[in-house]
Amino acid sequence: MTTSVPIQPRQGGRGRPIRTSILGTGMSLSVFHEPSIALLPEQFAIHSIFERSDKGRLEALKQAGRLDGVKIVRTFEEVLEDADVELIVVSTPNNTHYGYAKAALEAGKHVLIEKPICPTLVEATELYQLAESKGLILSVYQNRRWDSDFLTLQALLSSGKLGDIIEMTSSFDRYRPLPRTYQSGVNWKETPGASNNAIYNLGSHLIDQAVVLFGEPTKIGARCLDQRGIGLDESFVLDLYYPPAETSSSKTPRIITLRASILSALPHQLRYLVKGSKGSYVKYTLPNSHSALKEINEDNPVTHEGFGVEPEEGWGTAYIAKEEKDGADFTEEKVPASAGDYKGLYLNLFEAIDSADRAKLAVKKEQVLSVLKIIELARKSSDEGKVLSF
């Protein structure tokens, strides 16, 4: 058993920004990580960005003056050997997470990894053991816990307006009949290969949200699907079975269905459908043409809804029964969106590192490992065609 070592206080004392190095120059850098850090100048400072070769991805950020004073390094060793770097953000393809994170931890750096933490439960467990043995913080970038739509759903469920939750569907459906870039290998998420399947990418978010809301399931049934025939399971349907609510007299398990379809030919995609004993909630995703989505770019990326309130046209609707009886009438009300708070994840990470207290992390080790266990069981369930016990 690995001994957990107390986290050492930061060199130079608390109260100064955490010097951060980011691995990778894809969309996550410009849309998620850089704007979050920019909004927290007292907590974080981008020290360096690891880019193997100059592909021009950083040019817009440079032109906007967002990378002034930031080092652009060409080798990972430069990051590991730099004593000024305290935190390494791993924002690279899934199959590279384990190697980068292990090396970073061994070099004495705190680590934040994009979801999924790594492809296997065994690897993830090893990384946590290594972090604990080194007295370091390891966390996972589950930013969609801080999405406007999810925070809205959490508040609605906590209000009790819907009564006992009977079933829920949470979806990330899209209509993309033709793979855009997988043949050239430009977009690794559409490149056939281990751990590039949708259950690891979109699935990591949906599963994490379900674990936050309901905890660990008792059973799992799944279908992982290669709908476009490209050698990659880019779609899935996952059923998580939970006991009935404690306040319910029902003997029927609650089923939380998580799904992502790449061939959902609809103009308005379902995001949430929640059915409770007193009412239901329906929410659709915003149309792709919405101005807030068009404005996501390197020059002004904080217009992403993870940093603000979802526009009213995207708000969901709650239908509440006026009486609990057959043929009841329903009230219909739009549910105002809560503000998204992507910087909240980083602020939480700062508190854990600066206070040397991993217990403060919102994204708990147990939750991260549960997500990976569910992913592995989902793939097994799909292969074997049967429901499995958790």
Residue 183 pLDDT: 54
Residue 296 pLDDT: 39
What CA–CA distances, in Å, run from 76 to 23, 90, 99, 119? Answer: 8, 11, 11, 21
Question: What are the tens digits of pLDDT across the range 95-126?
Answer: 999 999 999 999 999 999 999 999 999 999 99
**pLDDT at 13 > cutoff 60:** no
Structural domain of residue 331, as residue ranges? Answer: 145-343+375-384
Whether 8 is covered by a domain: the verdict is no
What is the pLDDT confidence band of residue 193, given thresholds at 50, 70 and 90? confident
Task: For residues 78 and 109, state if they share a domain.
Answer: yes
Task: For residues 156 and 133, state if they share a domain.
Answer: no
Domain of 126: which CATH number? 3.40.50.720
Whether 307 is covered by a domain: the verdict is yes
Whether 215 is covered by a domain: the verdict is yes
Task: For residues 108 and 218, state if they share a domain.
Answer: no
Task: For residues 299 and 166, state if they share a domain.
Answer: yes
Task: For residues 257 and 203, state if they share a domain.
Answer: yes
Whether 3 is covered by a domain: the verdict is no
Answer with the one of 143, 168, 194 that is the final residue of a domain: 143
What is the pLDDT confidence band of residue 348, given thresholds at 50, 70 and 90? very high
Beta bridge partners of 71: 48
**pLDDT at 345 > cutoff 60:** yes
**pLDDT at 199 > cutoff 60:** yes
Task: For residues 312 and 241, state if they share a domain.
Answer: yes
Task: For residues 162 and 215, state if they share a domain.
Answer: yes
pTM of this structure: 0.93
Distance CA 188, CA 373 (A): 23
Task: For residues 176 and 189, state if they share a domain.
Answer: yes
- Please give the average per-residue pLDDT across 27-52, as a whole number: 92
Whether 352 is covered by a domain: the verdict is no
Question: What are the tens digits of pLDDT across the range 225-278?
Answer: 999 998 899 999 999 999 988 887 888 899 999 999 999 999 899 999 999 999
**pLDDT at 363 > cutoff 50:** yes
Residue 301 pLDDT: 47
Task: For residues 105 and 160, state if they share a domain.
Answer: no
Question: What are the tens digits of pLDDT across the range 128-158?
Answer: 999 999 999 999 999 999 999 999 999 999 9
Distance CA 284, CA 343 (A): 24
What CA–CA distances, in Å, run from 191 to 78, 198, 385? Answer: 29, 11, 25
Whether 365 is covered by a domain: the verdict is no
Answer with the one of 117, 143, 169 that is the final residue of a domain: 143
Distance CA 200, CA 181 (A): 19
Residue 247 pLDDT: 80
**pLDDT at 127 > cutoff 90:** yes
Question: What are the tens digits of pLDDT across the range 283-317?
Answer: 998 755 444 434 434 445 455 667 878 888 889 99
User: Which range has the top average pLDDT, 42-56, 121-135, 193-207?
Assistant: 121-135
Answer with the one of 93, 120, 143 that is the final residue of a domain: 143
| Mean pLDDT, the chain, whole residue set | 90
Distance CA 106, CA 119 (A): 20
Q: Tally the domains of the chain.
A: 2
Q: Looking at residue 175, what DSSP letter applies?
A: B
Q: Which two tokens stand for residue 187?
A: 């977009």
Whether 222 is covered by a domain: the verdict is yes
Task: For residues 97 and 186, state if they share a domain.
Answer: no
Residue 295 pLDDT: 47
Distance CA 305, CA 26 (A): 19
Contact present, 158 and 196 (Cβ < 8 Å): no
Task: For residues 134 and 213, state if they share a domain.
Answer: no
> In this structure, how many other beta carbons lie within 10 angstroms of the beta carbon of residue 183?
11
What is the pLDDT confidence band of residue 10, given thresholds at 50, 70 and 90? confident
Domain of 313: which CATH number? 3.30.360.10
The H-or-E segment that residue 241 falls in is strand 235-242
pLDDT above 70: percentage of residues in the chain = 92
Task: For residues 104 and 61, state if they share a domain.
Answer: yes
Q: Looking at residue 38, what DSSP letter applies?
A: H
What is the pLDDT confidence band of residue 182, given thresholds at 50, 70 and 90? low
Distance CA 223, CA 388 (A): 12
Whether 4 is covered by a domain: the verdict is no
